[in-house]
Structure 1
Amino acid sequence: MSWNWNSHGQPFLPGYTFRDVTTLSYKNGYALPRRPTVGIGQDPLLSEQLIQQEINELSLETPDITYCSDDQSLVEEFIPAHVALDKKVLRFYAYFEENILHSPEEHYRMRPVVIYYYLEDDSMCIIEPRVENSGIPQGKRLKRQRLPKNEQGDHYQWKDLNLGMDLEVYRVKYHITQCDAFTKEFMESEGIVLNEPEPMPVDPYRKCHKNPPPTYTTPSDWDIRQRFLTMDRKVLRFYALWDDTDSMFGEARPVTIQYFLVDDTVEIREVHKPNSGRDPFPIVMRRQKLPKKIKPEMFPSCVLEVSKKEVDEYYSPKDFKLGQTMKLLSRRFLLYDCDSFTKEYYQKNHPDVEMKPLDVSKQTDTLQETKKELPPYNGFGSLEDSLQNCLHLIPEPPKKNVLKMLQNDQVLRYCARLDSQDPKDESRRFILSYHLSNDMINIYEKPSRNSGIIGGKFLEKTQVPKPGSSPDNPEFYSPADFAIGATIEVFSHRFVLIDADLHVLKYLESISSQIPSQTLESLRQKLGVGATNNQPAEQNGDDVAEPSP
């Protein structure tokens, strides 16, 4: 008995064989099926009997005849069609004949079309140019697609197109007559000889109506059809002001009056401005005929609308003149300007009417401002804070002059005494500080030992009005009023200025044109006396030098 031994040194018998149940191998992450190398009985297959040398000879075999050198065997770069032929379109001009049934005026109609051929994907689309007021659905007849050539499934190619041929698409024959310059250049570059271009045939219906036969009937001036064909889309536009000042909270509102010449109707539209606070209702009066003269009636009418039988005359273009005030439906409108078409129409048809625009810039302003009566000042808070309760429903802080605060961030300090009949107040000294950034004054009392009076803040920073000024138009103290020896009344307290900083004199001299000479002279004399007595004013401390006795 012969034994066949496997590769693992075990007999080839049931129970001694170990087969790999997986039939796939992996290469570069892809699963590939394993090709068998041996057959039944472990006999090698014929495909595996080729030695490696024979495989190399088959794969590396070179032809015996060469037509060029190896240096010239360069592979050209491949460019796909959607890149090379992108946005390249062939355009042909064609027409098709449409049969007209049940019409005594025409039997057929010539309808021109434009055929577009897209070279990138061999698709085509057919578009018919739109004709105004034709009554025929025109535009895109066939959307972009590959058009079938025959029943075998072939499609039209650019080689099949030429001038003078009939292109049958879905049982409609399109006769190609012309093409554009790019199409002609492309076809000739590809070796296709184009036929001679043909003229586009004239539609007999258009030719008949372009030169109508002579008629013996005289057309009426009030022919509705003739007026529609000649006056359609012709509108006279006037710019006017609606005078609504008689009503409560009324004003002069800008409006546009449009007169339609096709049917003598009038429409009034309101001109809206942003942030006007009005609802956007554009139409003040709908398009309608405006009666100018109404027939007198013997009995009162119970109908609100006026019929045609009750009207003697309607408004016409002769009634609209620039500079006059028209009363339309019990509303007054001042015509002040018109557009260029309206001016040309009046110069051509009504030369006797003068169309001279008016200047109404003052009347087109906002509401006529009425003077608001403010209540008297109640004494609580500053005047600006109390005024906000009258200007706004929810009070807002008064606006500050930021530019002035950045430019004049300085403080002028003075020394003052209290002008009082009480002998206890003679020794009290105060520091009065004037802030140039907001024109406010604060007063600080210097503490005095064994005086029995507590020093500190005497007045919070605030604006101090001059005595005798009205609350509606107050006049506040300024550096021009602070002269040495001057009396300053601060809320029923009288202070006499007795000294100042040297910085005060320097600042006032820099703006000497705005300061009275008496104020500057008093400061120079006071500071000059202090300097001779070797008692200069302190500049860096919070204290101000008191005058010498």
Structure 2
Amino acid sequence: METVSNSGHDLPFLPGYSFNDPTKTTFPRSQTLGYRNGYPCSVLPVGASKECLHVNQLFQELNKKKPTPTYEEKKQVPPPSEFVPAHVAFDKKVLTFDAYFQEDVPMSTEEHYRIRKVIIYYYLEDDSMSVTEPIVENSGIPQGKFIKRQRLPKNDRGDHYHWKDLNRGISLVIYGKTFRIVNCDPFTEEFLESQGIELNPPEEMALDPYTELRKNPPRMYVTPSDFDQFKQFLTFDKKVLRFYAIWDDTDSMFGETRNYIILYYLADDTVEVREVHERNDGRDPFPVLVKRQRLPKILVESSNSFPRCVLEVSDQDVQEWYTAKDFAVGQPVTMLGRTFFIYDCDKFTRDFCRDKFGLPEFPTIDVSKKPPPLIKQELPPYNGFGLIEDSAQNCFALIPKPPRKDIIKMLMGDNKVLRYRAVLESPIPEDKGRHFIFTYFLATDMVSIFEPPVRNSGFFGGKFLTKTKIAKPGSSLDKPSFYGPGDFYIGALIEVFGHRFIIQDADEYVLKYLESHADRYPQSTILSLRQHFLKPKSKTEKSDSAPTPENVEMETITKHIQERFKNCKSLLEGPFYEALQVPDKEKTGYVDKEKFCGICKNFNIPLDDFLINELIRLCSNDKGKINYNNFIKAFS
């Protein structure tokens, strides 16, 4: 065996004979990255034999060291395939598609569009594309490379076209132009089918109309007509068909219906349209709408864009002209974009159409203007503010006027009021025992509600509802029905804006008024009031019953008068009371109203005050006399 030298390099390479070299000072690591053929790649570490291991050799060495079962047959692991980059695998492999796009030609009268054929190349190595147009000799169009090689954007999100997006029979939008793919080469077809893409059937390449026209120019033959126009002129000279027509333009803004006369000259098949003017129609006297000329009915397909507003239409541009058989009573006819409805003709025209064309007798169609149907005026729904009569005036005039009032009713019912006492029907315990005074004004059919104040009741009292009309529940908003004197009977339930009241008592004047106008009000209401006043009351019932409306109102007015005129001492002294006793010689306690007012003026009592007037009204009786004792008590 080999001996070991002092440096340790001569020892045999056997287990137990290897040791670290103490003289080694550098420990470099093997390089794992490098370049091969100009491309970066990884380099396997060097083995014990100082040689670089191949990929397959390394995997085989590692697989050999894996433990295997003792009683099982050893299986060989297949070596992995070698990795090949895309730029190497798909180098010089290109997908080729035949396509075309349509280009508009606005400045040419011979062609409207042209078909330009292109070839689309897709480079598999870097997913780039290019579009090339084959050069056609003497085409006059710059051709060749249409779009240089690049990755073409697919949408606004930054995606690019991939070979998976390409197929036959589809359209691609590239930089605003739409390319139609019609076919591809065999390599492209084989590649796409190998990748699992189902190809569409190929399409025919679109033909350029102008190119086809240049290949086979049409041969135009003009056959001379055998129709003798001079014979037509001699036969039908001064014979004209006269049709009466209207033009209905009411669908447009400020449009109207206008009358016209259509003249068809049989001598040369020309048409003239004249306008019928009426006196003071406000239009300029231009009698001719369309001058005498031959009117085209159907143009050839290639003459749709012919500038007829500037140039005259020739015979080559017209497929069919208007003739006498195109005009008939009861049928519309469109000439130069305007549709006329023929409603009548003269006798010569009827006879000519019957003898020449075998048409039946033309009837006369009535086209006179019919009056428009009456539109029912409907008021908008009531919004709940104010009276309905006042709100409705805004729909009748731009500047609303106050609604008309019944003057006779106001004069007959002036200063006539009907008073009722009612209680509030409410599930709330605090509302029980609340009494209200209903005042019905006969002059305006309005109702006011007053709540007498009660001390320590928790409610302020006073005016509960101002003068207004109260509609019955369930009545329509357009034509509501309001409460009237016939609805206020003893025990009646009155609903006022969600509050329910029950009528319990009324003034005796209410019964007298209803009996004097018994023909206007229901007998049940008069009977209920009559039984209420004729019903005897016991002493306990009188003492326990609620105060009458007059007493409650008297107490309220007395309270306000004492607060306002507490400094007026002239009424508390004897001269005013003695002055009132002088006209009352029989000591009845009543004085005529005129004498009472004269005495009040002498003592400077403000008769124009509202409280004084109400007090005088409460102290008055039916005979026009005033109880001055009650008047003076209100101030004491």
The answer, yes or no, to whether TM exceeds 0.5 is no
User: Does 1 or 2 have the higher relative contact order (CA < 8 Å, sep 6+)?
Assistant: 1
More helix by share: 2
TM-score, normalised with respect to structure 1 = 0.38
- Give the TM-score of the pair, scaled to structure 2: 0.34
